[in-house]
């Protein structure tokens, strides 16, 4: 155990959230800062969370007939020049290798559309090759990020990116939403994090896309957090990269394309949503370890350990379980350690518990302590894990809902942004107006246009032109 982790958290969530968040990530052993500015090292415990996300989503990919592949992270500069809007959108973010074996500069992958679509131009020949659905798990470089906020913003991060090709726009539209829906389910079922589904404004859409859809959550820091996006790329990339196919009548046609992705930012959303002043709080579905057993060894050592081992053997048939037999640390020290790590359930057993054929079960999220007969322990653990997963989601959903303010008044809009709320307001959709709103509110950008729209009439919250839709506004990372 690292010396720092013994100290516990010294910052409080309600008083200094940025420092609290950093301490949780560092002291719980999720990550640390890398030697190059803006980078991070994901430690084994943090990577175990990412692995859980990968395992969950790989099953979804298989169900949806998406194949995993890998493409190089080195991208020729000429590839970016093929799609002008895309190149302009990523201009500030690209890290370049100026010298090498190539006659042109080489980019370190900021996203993979260009290199993947160059390959697709060779792979797609006939309508029989469609739909083509490929995903890759990889690292991404965004060089404009100078200050690393662990998991939330860094120069290098991990993600998945799906890239699909279809015959028709209808197919493409359907699957843009299909994968957005799967992202929402992942956040709910695995992370217990509620999200808002919506469409990005034209100003905020992915560079080169016809439109972008998104899932957004809201953190206790009062900031919106984009957790995943799904784009209809239209036919622009197909034109730029020479992707075409012969349809079933022998006619040469342009396909439609989509891309979609989420990143290790999800881990940041998870930490922000549930953790407290003792450390991590992990939903059981994503926790690398669901149960820790702490034997109280004062006397009857062998009997207590024997029973603890029996309990572990029974529970590990269904769960990941740690039995902490270390004698150099006190039970209280161990409690603090595993609370910092966010393990959902702690089971304590000592000599007095043996006499009563019971154990003590403690839930991490609410600290609730139960005395449970050992014969009923397995069923009680199952019940508590299910209740904890559900309770964490409901608590987070209540927080999200309570921090959304709907207004048609500009003065209230500004007030609520200052109060760190997510504001739902009528909007004209004009880029210039959007820039003015962000400037006058000191940083509140549009987050998304909710997919489920109320019937709208009236004027834009800012410019008073006719409103096109309701949109969420808020500050972000």
Written as six digits, the tokens of 355 are 């006499």
What pLDDT does residue 101 have?
A: 76
pTM for the complete prediction?
A: 0.95
Alpha helices, DSSP H, located in 100-168: 113-123
What pLDDT does residue 89 have?
A: 74
Is 291 exposed, middle or buried, given 0-12, 13-18 or 19+ CB atoms closer than 10 A? buried
**CB-CB contact of 217 with 224 (8 Å):** yes
pLDDT of 355 higher than 70: yes
What pLDDT does residue 20 have?
A: 98
User: Over pLDDT 70: what percentage of the chain?
Assistant: 98
User: What mean pLDDT is predicted for residues 91-112?
Assistant: 87
What pLDDT does residue 4 have?
A: 39
Longest alpha-carbon distance in the chain: 84
Q: Single out the residue of 345, 337, 288 nearest to residue 311, CA to CA.
A: 345
Residue with tokens 């404004």: 201
Triad 153, 115, 242: Cα angle to 5° = 135
User: What mean pLDDT is predicted for residues 215-221?
Assistant: 97
Rounded to whole angstroms, the Cα distance separating 148 from 156 reads 9
What pLDDT does residue 295 have?
A: 97
Domains, the chain, ordered by start: 3-274 (3.30.930.10), 291-382 (3.40.50.800), 404-474 (3.30.110.30)
Rounded to whole angstroms, the Cα distance separating 99 from 442 reads 41
**Res. 42 pLDDT band, cuts 50 70 90:** very high
Rounded to whole angstroms, the Cα distance separating 167 from 172 reads 8
What pLDDT does residue 6 have?
A: 52
**Res. 5 pLDDT band, cuts 50 70 90:** very low
Q: Single out the residue of 265, 325, 289, 330 nearest to residue 477, CA to CA.
A: 265
Alpha helices, DSSP H, located in 16-83: 17-27, 44-63, 77-81
User: What mean pLDDT is predicted for residues 102-122?
Assistant: 94
**CB-CB contact of 24 with 275 (8 Å):** yes
Residue 59, phi then psi, degrees to nearest 5: -65, -40
Strands 321-323 and 291-295: parallel
Please provide the average confidence, as pLDDT, over all residues in the chain. 95
Written as six digits, the tokens of 224 are 């919106």
Rounded to whole angstroms, the Cα distance separating 429 from 465 reads 10
What pLDDT does residue 1 have?
A: 36
Cα distances from 290 to residues 211, 285, 312, 335, in angstroms, run: 40, 8, 12, 14
Q: What's CA 430's distance to the chain center, in Å? A: 29
**Count of other CB atoms within 10 angstroms of residue 137:** 15
DSSP 304-361: HHHHHHHHHHHHTTTS-EEE---SSS-HHHHHHHHHHHT-SEEEEE-HHHHHTTEEEE
* Helix, strand, coil percent values for the chain (each to nearest 5): 35, 25, 35
Residue 362, phi then psi, degrees to nearest 5: -125, 125
pLDDT of 299 higher than 90: no
What pLDDT does residue 93 have?
A: 87
Sorted by sequence, the CB contacts under 8 Å of residue 309 that are 6+ apart come out as 323
Rounded to whole angstroms, the Cα distance separating 295 from 348 reads 6
């Amino acid at each position: 155990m690292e010396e720092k982790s013994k100290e516990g958290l010294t910052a409080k969530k309600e008083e200094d959230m940025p420092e609290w968040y950093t301490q949780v990530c560092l002291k719980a052993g999720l990550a640390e800062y890398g030697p190059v500015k803006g980078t991070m090292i994901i430690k084994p415990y943090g990577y175990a969370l990412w692995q859980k996300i990968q395992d969950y989503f790989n099953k979804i990919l298989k169900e949806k007939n998406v194949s995993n592949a890998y493409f190089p992270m080195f991208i020729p500069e000429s590839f970016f020049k093929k799609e002008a809007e895309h190149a302009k959108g990523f201009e500030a973010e690209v890290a370049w290798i100026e010298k090498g074996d190539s006659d042109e500069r080489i980019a370190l992958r900021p996203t993979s559309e260009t290199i993947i679509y160059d390959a697709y131009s060779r792979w797609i020949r006939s309508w029989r090759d469609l739909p083509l659905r490929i995903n890759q798990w990889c690292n991404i470089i965004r060089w404009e990020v100078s200050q690393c906020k662990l998991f939330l913003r860094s120069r290098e991060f991990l993600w998945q990116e799906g890239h699909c090709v279809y015959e028709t726009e209808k197919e493409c539209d359907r699957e843009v939403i299909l994968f957005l829906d799967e992202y929402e389910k992942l956040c709910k079922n695995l992370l217990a994090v509620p999200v808002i589904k919506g469409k990005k404004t034209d100003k905020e859409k992915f560079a080169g896309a016809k439109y972008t859809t998104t899932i957004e959550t809201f953190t206790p820091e009062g900031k919106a957090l984009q957790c995943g996006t799904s784009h209809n790329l239209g036919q622009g990339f197909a034109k730029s990269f020479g992707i075409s196919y012969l349809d079933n009548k022998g006619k040469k046609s342009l396909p439609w394309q989509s891309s979609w992705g989420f990143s290790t930012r999800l881990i940041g959303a998870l930490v922000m949503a549930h953790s407290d002043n003792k450390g991590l709080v992990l939903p059981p579905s994503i926790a690398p370890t669901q149960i820790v057993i702490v034997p109280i060894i004062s006397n009857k050592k062998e009997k207590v350990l024997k029973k603890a081992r029996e309990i572990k053997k029974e529970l590990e048939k269904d769960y990941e379980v740690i039995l902490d037999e270390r004698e150099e640390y006190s039970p209280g020290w161990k409690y603090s350690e595993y609370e910092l790590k966010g393990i959902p359930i702690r089971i304590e057993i000592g000599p007095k518990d043996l006499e009563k054929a019971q154990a003590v079960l403690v839930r991490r999220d609410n600290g609730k302590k139960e005395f449970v007969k050992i014969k009923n322990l397995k069923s009680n653990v199952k019940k508590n894990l299910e209740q904890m997963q559900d309770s964490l989601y409901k608590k987070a959903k209540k927080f999200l809902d309570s921090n959304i303010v709907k207004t048609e008044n500009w003065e209230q809009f500004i007030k609520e942004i200052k109060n760190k709320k997510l504001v739902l307001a009528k909007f004209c959709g004009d880029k210039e107006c959007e820039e003015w709103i962000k400037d006058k509110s000191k940083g509140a950008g549009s987050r998304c246009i909710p997919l489920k729209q109320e019937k709208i009439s009236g004027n834009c919250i800012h410019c008073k032109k006719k409103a096109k839709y309701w949109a969420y506004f808020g500050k972000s990372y």
